[in-house]
Structure 1
Amino acid sequence: MGAVLDGHAEVPKGTGRRNYDSACAAAGQLGLMSLYETLFAQCDVATSQLLVTEFDFRTPERRRHLRYTTSTMLKLGVVPILNENDAVSGNEGYEADGMFSDNDGLAALVAEQMNAKMLILLTDVEGVYNKHPDEEGAKIFHTFDPNRHELMIGEKSAGGRGGMGAKIRAASRAVSGGVPSVVIASGLNPYSIERIVCGERVGTMFCANPGLYEDSDDEEDADDMIVRQAEMARVGGRALCALDSEERAGILRKVAEALLAKSPEITVANERDIKAAKANNIAPALLNRLKLTKDKIKVLAEGITSLADGEEPLSKCNSRLEVQEGLVLKQITSPIGVLLIVFESRPDSLPQIASLAIRSGNGLLLKGGKEAEHSNACLHRIIVDAVAEGSKGRVPRDCIGLVTSRAAVGELLKLDHLIDLVIPRGSGSLVNHIKVNYPSACNAAETILIHKALLEEGAGTCSQVVRALHSAGVTVLGGPRAVDLGVVGGDKISPGFKTEYGDLTVSLEIVDSVEAALDHIQRFGSSHTETIVTEDQDVAKMFLETVDSACVFHNASTRFSDGYRFGLGAEVGVSTGRIHARGPVGVEGLLTTKWVLRSHGETAHTVGKKDPYSLKPMDLEAGAW
């Protein structure tokens, strides 16, 4: 139907639906294929067009020709785009004796003929639901069993012959024809196909033995548990807000004490994760991030204690205004609500994030990497026990929930009415003396730009820098100019300036000027942290004022970009965005504001008539109101 719709703009209205649609299909095919060709060309992929009718599937000989042509295209790396030849087929759909009546049916036939391992049918909803997706109580079937599931089919799309009913029939037909699995998923999500191929539970799957994969009661219970966790996190957040500053600070001190007292228990759990990670040949950089040592736990406890001793973040007055005599308006800080933090395999993130949520009065849901499963579970238990003890039972342990279900993140992201903010936390001195310090950290240097003037021999030369890096065990990979100029060997070529290595590897390039360096940063930088090493104060000033990153330094290591070193006590992560919070995100980054107005019974009508609005700024500290 795509070609028909495309042709409506080209062909004047005629008489007869069938003849008109056929003419539109003929006119629209050029535009449709031009669009496909343009889009695939952006990925350097060649395409071909195969227009078929039901007669191409009627005889073994024609089916054999179709299989041969399609297979040949695939072997040559050309993507075959199959479509019904609406210009000559005259197919208006749903013909009782037809081989297929829409593109879903055609897709099922082609998958069957090509012995495909999987067929993916894309639609405008997440999958097959028990009722219309917009209705209350609508639930997706992750595995469809026609003998077990009942559903109500809505109307088909206005622009095509198919609809969800057609997709279900096509999926069932493909499975009956020998296709191992068919998935109906959202075509509006650009990652649907990738996620399906990677084995994630996306959309609705059809298969020959749905009983082996169908949604079990345990899975349904798990979905309900996720909702309950989010609900309890909101309840817990409100309980935290009901405490005064010193009470919340007291909870944090209990958390810090518990971490230190139970550090042997934590390290034992961490060793289980380390052992499993090594057995699975996890990358060294990830292994470094996974490790929890006694010293790391001590630093965590110190950071949490520092946070407890810090200034109270809630109800802090940002502005105070006399609207009119006796009518005072002020803006104060308040919690965001319920936070969902999805973090990588860094168990030391969990205590930091939890402590920030407690201090800021937010409910919290945590989803950590599976590699840190035992460490996260141990830390979570210790922390929520400390919360219950420190609050004398006034704050439920469920104020901080640990999500362990494999498919839980997708379900959590749908809970807009319960979760207010989602934060994914993941990975992103030279000349005379270079020190290497924890290259797995997200604030470790990844790219070094050297001014061309330092190619000359003498003190502080480029060669000195490279030698210092090598002596520190760093692998130096060169950019195009660094390789051409012989600074780095031709066998040590950087894979790209956006590469995040996470180990003792850096990219190195030569630039002509500070302006060229700024252009490079603008093009390839991550907006995380940039630093300049120079004795020229004017150049340093230009760099600090021009670079648009969350953290910009002069003659300082990028490793200073850290919440603990910034005096935040702990951090959720480093934000490279430009809205709300930027750089290391501490407790203030987890707050929003609200307006509070008090009067003696005035209304907008009476105030407007009595006196003009004074709108006089007031001293923030002048009295309670």
Structure 2
Amino acid sequence: MSEHTTEKRTEAKVTEANSAALELAKLTEQERNEGLHEIADAIDDSHEEILEANDEDVEEAEQLLEDGEYTQALVDRLELSPSKLDSITEMVRSVADQEDPLGKTLAARRLDEGLELYKQSVPIGVIGTVFESRPDALVQIAALSLKSGNAVILKGGSEAASSNRVLYEIIREATADLPEGWAQLIEAREDVNTLLEMDGSVDLLMPRGSSEFVSYIQDNTSIPVLGHTEGICHVFVDTAADLSMAADIAFDAKVQYPAVCNAVETLLVHEDVAEEFLPEIASRYQEAEVELRGDEAARELVEMNEATEEDWSSEYGDLILAVKIVDSLDSAIDHVNTYGSKHTDSIVTDDAERASIFMRSIDSASVFHNASTRFSDGYRFGLGAEVGISTGKTHARGPVGLEGLTTYKYHLEGSGQQVASYAGDDPKPFLHEEFDGEWIPGQLSE
């Protein structure tokens, strides 16, 4: 297929999504929820077909793993199973059960008697997503987009092409009664370049991948970008930590599922507790086959590989952990803010004041006290699911669920007012009174 033909095909898909977005915005919550339940039921009925396609992707990925082109972490994220498919459908149904993010009155202000302004939550419009490796991400993003009334352009990685294609077709067929084209699948790299140029039709881009990949997207488009980048997460074991709790948290944060962005990559330990804490946790890590890479002070206490400067800013996505001993709370904070990716960081301490200082000082989307970094997740946060974890500061931050996929507009209800009455030599004053009220079309509050 020629480059010109590919470009035209992508433009047609985006144009169709743009039209669908206008129709989606008119649907009731019940209609959107019915679509989500149809998707969940269809996935439940298609396990064999999905797993067959996924086997093709995994087989090819394992070959590339042997050739050194892929990592084990990528293969782990790629693989589906019957239990994972059950989790996917549970996620879709949980999104349907979430409170409707649309049509909420975010603020109400009386400008004058009989003149009322309402700030209402509405869909963003057309969202373009580029993600890699995890085919379940396609379903998560599509489900959240539908619930929030957005049309979506889906671009997964080539390593999951067969899985993504099957899942997309299942979603498309299950929602045949919804506005046609509300979800679109693009597959070629050239499609992405065309998408980046369509600022008149695409309202938001959400790339999920490395910092370099997100930066490439940001540098090559004028469409607003909500970046979902790597997770260089930290656990800091403070001098006032309950060391048994700290060991459990540090172990869970690394071992429970090391291939994801909210797994810990660097363990910081206060020097006052290092001698007691490090040998114990190192033994647990050794049993779990975790490779430790430590600074000089850590290597004096436990046998481990030497950490390089690169290790402090690495997202391993694997059973590898960097270990550093720090001499103070301030040193821990400085290290996290210097090398972290603004994703998720945790302090383990029984000192509430020190926890407060850490949590207020760390410039990350999520900062935890006495909890594993693995809790940084849309489902665990009660958001139903997430389109990703935003490490930026606008317009959404942390796990981005339904609220992050909405914007707002103003509705003004009047009773014949004219601006001329509020201007001139003797202008009528505005009231500008905030009040509790919900927007009801065609009605003013009593």
Question: TM-score band (shorter)?
Answer: 0.7 to 0.9
Residue 493 of structure 1: CA displacement?
5.0
Equivalent position to 1:617, from 406, 412, 434 = 434
Q: 1:490 to 1:328 in 2, by over 3 A?
A: closer
* Runs of 5+ unmatched residues, structure 2: 210-229, 232-244
Structure 1 unaligned regions, length at least 5 = 1-215
Aligned counterparts of 1:352 and 1:490: Cα–Cα separation in 2: 38
Match of 1:349 among 137, 143, 153: 137
User: 1:417 aligned to 181, 200, 212, which one?
Assistant: 200
**Residues 326-365 of structure 1 mapped to structure 2, 5 A cutoff:** 326-365=114-153
Shift of 1:494: 6.5
SS in 2 for 1:323: strand
| Alpha-carbon separation, structure 2, partners of 1:419 and 1:353 | 16
- Mapped partners of 1:593, 1:355: distance in 2: 20
The reply to whether residue 319 of structure 1 matches residue 107 of structure 2 is yes
Letter aligned with residue 410 of structure 1:
N
Q: Percent identity?
A: 40
Counterpart mapping for 1:179-578 below 5 A: 218-281=2-65, 282-388=70-176, 393-396=177-180, 398-426=181-209, 427-428=230-231, 430-431=246-247, 434-435=251-252, 436-457=255-276, 461-483=277-299, 485-489=300-304, 491=306, 495-578=310-393
1:261-282 deviation digits (Å, cap 9, x = unpaired): 1122111110110011112222
Mapped partners of 2:339, 2:3: distance in 1: 43
Distance in 1 separating the partners of 2:58 and 2:29 = 38
Equivalent residue, structure 2, for 1:586:
401
Structure 1 length-normalised TM: 0.62
The alpha carbon displacement at 1:307 in A equals: 1.4
Question: Structure 1 pair 382/467, CA: closer, same or farther in 2 (3 Å)?
Answer: same
Query: Cα–Cα, structure 1 residues 539 and 306, in superposed 2: closer, same or farther, change >3 Å?
Result: same
Task: Write the letter of the residue equivalent to 2:51.
Answer: T
SS in 2 for 1:568: coil
Contact in 1 for aligned 2:247/2:281 (Cα 8 Å) = yes
- Kept in 2: contact 1:317–1:331 (CA 8 A): yes
Residues 161-190 of structure 1: per-residue CA shift (max 9 Å, x gap): xxxxxxxxxxxxxxxxxxxxxxxxxxxxxx
Give the Å deviation of 1:410: 1.2
* One-letter identity of the residue aligned with 1:323: L
Rg comparison, structure with higher value:
1
Aligned partner letter, 1:466: A
User: CA, structure 1 residues 622+585, in 2 after alignment: closer, same or farther (shift >3 Å)?
Assistant: closer
Letter in 2 for 1:595: Y
Bigger relative CO (Cα 8 Å, ≥ 6 apart): 2
Structure 2 vs 1, CA of residues 543 and 492 (structure 1 numbering), >3 Å: closer, same or farther?
Answer: closer
Shift of 1:369: 0.3
Q: Normalising by structure 2, what TM-score?
A: 0.86
Which residue identity lines up with residue 241 of structure 1 in the other structure?
A
Pair 1:347–1:432, CA change in 2 (3 A): closer
Cα deviations across residues 223-274 of structure 1 (Å, max 9, x unaligned)?
A: 1011011111111111211111111111111111111111221111101100
RMSD value, Cα? 1.8
Do the aligned residues in 2 keep the contact of 1:449 with 1:511 (CA within 8 Å)?
Answer: yes
- What is residue 225 of structure 2 aligned with on the other side? none
CA distance in 2, matches of 1:596, 1:492: 57
Match for 1:600: what amino acid? Answer: S
Q: 1:480 to 1:601 in 2, by over 3 A?
A: farther
1:611, CA displacement in angstroms?
3.2
- Between the aligned partners of 2:61 and 2:128, the Cα distance in structure 1 is 25
- Aligned 1:85-100 pairs, distance under 5 A: none
